[in-house]
Amino acid sequence: MPFEFSERLKALPPYLFKELDRIRDEVKSRGVDVIDLGVGDPDRPTPSHVIEALAKAAEDPSNHQYPVYSGMNTFRNVVADWYFRRHAVELKPETEVCSLIGSKEGLAQFPLAFVNPGDLVLVPEPSYPVYRSGTLFAGGQSVFMPLLEKNGFLPDLKAIDEKTLDKAKIIWVNYPNNPTGAAASVEFYTELVALAKKWNLIVASDAAYSECTWLNRPHVSILEIPGAKDVAVEFHSLSKTYNMTGWRLGWAVGNETLIQGLGRVKSNVDSGVFQAVQLAGITALNGPQEPVVAMGQLYQKRRQVLTAGLKAAGLSVFETNYTFYVWVRVPEGMKSADFASKLLNEVGVVATPGNGFGPSGEGYVRFALVQEEPRLKEAADRLSSLKF
């Protein structure tokens, strides 16, 4: 018998990366040797000492029962210690830290705690699609903030009109940025915190890529800004830092009321993170960090290999020291989707069309550095054969 989707679900566009997988598989079925640089899923394994910690913890029967909703006290203490070591930010583990089943679920569920039907939410674009879908599920309305190359892919906070600010509940930011790789500065975050205090805005900062760099320091955290904890919550994940995308472990930290609200939502819709995974996460955060440094250096080399081919093809590449993404302007007169289709069908290279991240992404494509260097060299050679 026929069943009808809810209006909320009908309003959602097809999930970008699911659609990419479908198109890629269709081309592969024709016998094409496809080099997939579409989805940002690290290709290297999780560090062995983290895997060993999981195996040991999984054998302990005390970890087989329901976990604590907000996360093990030990895990939250370790997260707080990590923030102090990396950012000199002091957090109260019992009230200002909440474990997440990967940061994506926290990003999606956070608006449910604070957004009422019809409320406005300021969403950057191009951006990770979950900021928009989480707003939609909460009944809110997304107001987009264009991220333009001339502004370093930072939102122009002064361009937001006062009527919008007066009705807005949350402003989302994501730095280091997906998809562009752009970075934010202390000055930008200082301006953002001042704006949030003036208009009683919640700042939701997605910092999943802060450790994904080849510099000798992490990207700045918004919580380093004086007074930020009055208005901000920051989301982080072990996924990209430790190649743990499939493990589903992350956290939210910051303002106590914001953490409490997210925790109340979570206690009603999930049962927390498997304790063995949290114990493995503790090992990752407290253990040797050489694998993190090595991955950053690897991404730098991979970026150099791929961008050489892109530039040889006559394409413009946005330069950055963060993330494992390469954000590329498509040739004059072409659309993002048409260009990505051309790459896939003519040289078997998968890139993500920029417009899939929002209207301001039109005119760009994103490459993810998730193949080994020989495959990236092959992709670079294929791309350089296409002169634009």
Domains in the chain, start-ordered, CATH in brackets?
7-45+290-384 (3.90.1150.10), 52-286 (3.40.640.10)
Single-letter amino acid, residue 254: G
The position carrying tokens 């903030």 is 145
Question: Looking at residue 25, what is its pLDDT?
Answer: 80
**What is the SS3 assignment for the chain?**
CCCCCCHHHHCCCCCHHHHHHHHHHHHHCCCCCCEECCCCCCCCCCCHHHHHHHHHHHCCHHHCCCCCCCCCHHHHHHHHHHHHHHHCCCCCHHHHEEEECCHHHHHHHHHHHHCCCCCEEEEEECCCCHHHHHHHHCCCEEEEEECCHHHCCCCCHHHCCHHHHHHEEEEEEECCCCCCCCCCCHHHHHHHHHHHHHHCCEEEEECCCCCCECCCCCCCCHHHCCCHHHCEEEEEECCCCCCCCCCCCEEEEECHHHHHHHHHHHHHHCCCCCHHHHHHHHHHHHCCCHHHHHHHHHHHHHHHHHHHHHHHCCCEECCCCECCEEEEECCCCCCHHHHHHHHHHHHCEECEEHHHHCHHHCCEEEEECCCCHHHHHHHHHHHHCCCC
The burial class, CB within 10 Å (0-12 / 13-18 / 19+), for 63 is middle
Question: Looking at residue 17, what is its pLDDT?
Answer: 64
Question: Looking at residue 19, what is its pLDDT?
Answer: 67
Confidence (pTM): 0.94
Rg, the chain, Cα only: 21
Question: Looking at residue 13, what is its pLDDT?
Answer: 73
Cβ atoms within 10 Å, residue 49: 13
* Nearest to 101, CA basis, from 210, 233, 263, 323: 263
Question: Looking at residue 105, what is its pLDDT?
Answer: 94
d(CA 127, CA 131): 8
Cβ atoms of 145 and 123 within 8 Å: the answer is yes
- Tens of each residue's pLDDT in the chain, 388 residues: 789 989 888 887 766 666 667 777 877 778 889 999 998 999 999 999 999 999 999 999 999 999 988 889 999 999 999 999 999 999 999 999 999 999 999 999 999 999 999 999 999 999 999 999 999 999 999 999 999 999 999 999 999 999 999 999 999 999 999 999 999 999 999 999 999 999 999 999 999 999 999 999 999 999 999 999 999 999 999 999 999 999 999 999 999 999 999 999 999 999 999 999 999 999 999 999 999 999 999 999 999 999 999 999 999 999 999 999 999 999 999 999 999 989 998 999 999 999 999 999 999 999 999 999 999 999 999 988 887 7
